[in-house]
Amino acid sequence: MNDQTGEIRKLSTLVEISQALSGTLNLKAAHHKVLEVLGKHHGMLRSSITLVDETTGELYVEAADGASDGARSNHRPGQEITRRVIESGKPVVVPQVSREPLFSLHATVKKDGHRELSFISAPIVLNRKTVGAISVDLGFKKDRDYDRTVKFLRVVSSMISQALKVQRLIDTERQRLLDENIHLRQELKERYDFSKIIGNSSPMRQVYEQVAQVASSSTTALIRGESGTGKELIAHAIHYNSPRASKPFIKVSCAALPETLIEAELFGYEKGAFTGAQARKKGRFEMAEGGTLFLDEIGDLNLATQVKLLRVLQEREFERLGGTDSVKVNVRLIAATNKDLERAISESTFREDLYYRLNVFAIFVPPLRERKPDVLLLADYFLEKYARENAKAIKRISTPAIDMLTSYHWPGNVREFENCIERAVLVCDGHVIHGHHLPPTLQTAAASNTITRLSLTAAIEAYEKDLIQDALKTTRGNRARAAKLLDTTERILGYKVKKYDLDCGRFR
């Protein structure tokens, strides 16, 4: 072989090797292919790739090629040398195997057609660390330029190491994503488990009971209730407490989408179904496969789509827009609305047959004004949540402020309540939320509602008592310091403490 054909052959080998390494995510198969290519074009009689196990540090034969009677065992004589190459990070050339004591210990060498062999091993280096070696047997030739063969092997080895690098990055990233996914699922589950739904009142306990009843089945559930009562929270609770919890929970807001879009959204479409449909797209029904589809604001769904939805509910299959194949789905449906559906039926804006299909198991989430006992619990819960989020040391809500909260009629329900506490936390710069931290609507409501039942004197006294309690709390029951805080004398404070029957010892 003259020099030039030799170089051309090497180049085309390198191209083949590079294709083998980049063409697949299965590196073991790619390594095999690399050895095969070497054997085919360069007369390498036997070859192997040995790698260091990342976790145990042990050497293992990743791929071997050449000898018919089990390349692995046959190649063992070279393994001691391979080990040395990996330890030292330097290539080794044994021009005549029969003269190398490490080889001649093994009878297998001599059997090989009585042909003299040369053995070459080059390290595989990744991020300056030797992570393995590529070793080959060649027929012995007196005039072989071993330096060039080593150089060539080093190029091959650096290609292998690049592929390893990519593979290990992918593995790390995939593991990270898997871990993150597990973590997120756990977080979701926690967010929607029952403990995050606040309320102990009897109407809420009834809701929990219904959630528990319906969760275990795949029955369609219809959640009703005014805006901001927690319908979406309940829908999540059903899903995350059902056998479908590890499958997706997919929400579609029927109100937010224009009529033309909602069907594409729900059922997906085929390529070319309309201008702009450049590829097939899955609908939410398909995305929810095995899990739960939550149709929020179902009362706002247009009549044409209601017909299609009814069909899916009856037949559990549908066609994508612009398509003819039916798609079968296994999803649990949960719908929610704050609309008066019965009235919508009488006004012919909601189909009666769909109503009956949805209304299999109805859960009514009561408005906040019908569950006054929950107001205190919610107040504590949101206070803690927003104080933590805003890093504020707010400890409690003053009694008059609590009175204002409980006497208000909360037309916006829990959502409005939550906003109100969040705002109070933001404007409060002490340890206690007072009435003046609450929104003006509550002040006027309080003035026109329950609080007017209190005389001015009684209201002032309640406020005064509250302030003194706060001061005593801050000074841990020390009257002198509490008096100073309130800019009054110890004598006056003592008098008030007596009047309001406060026990200073309690604050220590």
* Residues of the shown chain interacting with ligand ATP in the complex, contacts defined by CB under 6 A: 197-199, 225, 227-233, 338, 414-415, 418
In terms of CB distance, is 152 or 192 closer to ligand ATP?
A: 192
414 interacts with, out of Mg ion, ligand ATP, none, CB within 5 to 8 A per kind: ligand ATP
In terms of CB distance, is 44 or 250 closer to ligand ATP?
A: 250
In terms of CB distance, is 228 or 291 closer to ligand ATP?
A: 228
From the number of C-beta atoms within 10 Å of its C-beta (0-12, 13-18, 19+), residue 235 rates as buried
Partners of residue 92 on adjacent β-strands: 121
Give CB contacts under 8 A, 24+ apart, made by 191-198. Answer: 191/236, 192/233, 192/236, 192/237, 192/239, 192/240, 193/237, 193/240, 193/241, 194/237, 194/241, 196/233, 197/230, 197/233, 197/234, 197/237, 198/374, 198/377, 198/378, 198/381
Two structure tokens written together for 474: 């801050």
Of positions 100, 232, 265, 470, contacts Mg ion by CB under 5 A: 232
| Separation of alpha carbons 149 and 175, rounded Å | 39
Count of residues that interact with Mg ion, criterion CB under 5 A: 1
Residue 205 Cβ vs ligand ATP, minimum distance, rounded to whole Å: 12
Residues constituting the chain: 508
CB atoms within 10 A of CB 1: 7
226 belongs to the binding site for Mg ion (CB under 5 A): no
Residue 285 Cβ vs ligand ATP, minimum distance, rounded to whole Å: 21
In terms of CB distance, is 109 or 365 closer to ligand ATP?
A: 365
* Binding characters for Mg ion, 178-217, by CB under 5 A (x = yes): ----------------------------------------
- Residue at shortest CB range from ligand ATP: 230
| Separation of alpha carbons 460 and 20, rounded Å | 85
In terms of CB distance, is 232 or 470 closer to Mg ion?
A: 232
**Amino acid letter, 354:** L
233 interacts with, out of Mg ion, ligand ATP, none, CB within 5 to 8 A per kind: ligand ATP
Of the ranges 107-115, 229-237, 408-416, 497-505, which one interacts with Mg ion (CB under 5 A)?
229-237
Residue 239 Cβ vs ligand ATP, minimum distance, rounded to whole Å: 13
Residue 404 Cβ vs ligand ATP, minimum distance, rounded to whole Å: 20
Determine contact, residues 321/274, Cβ cutoff 8 Å.
yes
Rg (CA), the chain: 38
286 belongs to the binding site for Mg ion (CB under 5 A): no
227 interacts with, out of Mg ion, ligand ATP, none, CB within 5 to 8 A per kind: ligand ATP
230 interacts with, out of Mg ion, ligand ATP, none, CB within 5 to 8 A per kind: ligand ATP
Residue 414 Cβ vs ligand ATP, minimum distance, rounded to whole Å: 3
Residue 344 Cβ vs Mg ion, minimum distance, rounded to whole Å: 17
300 belongs to the binding site for Mg ion (CB under 5 A): no
Nearest-CA neighbor of 285 among 232, 328, 245, 349? 328
Determine contact, residues 318/309, Cβ cutoff 8 Å.
no
Two structure tokens written together for 141: 């030739």
106 Cβ contact list (under 8 Å, min separation 6): 76, 77
The contact set with Mg ion (CB under 5 A) reads: 232
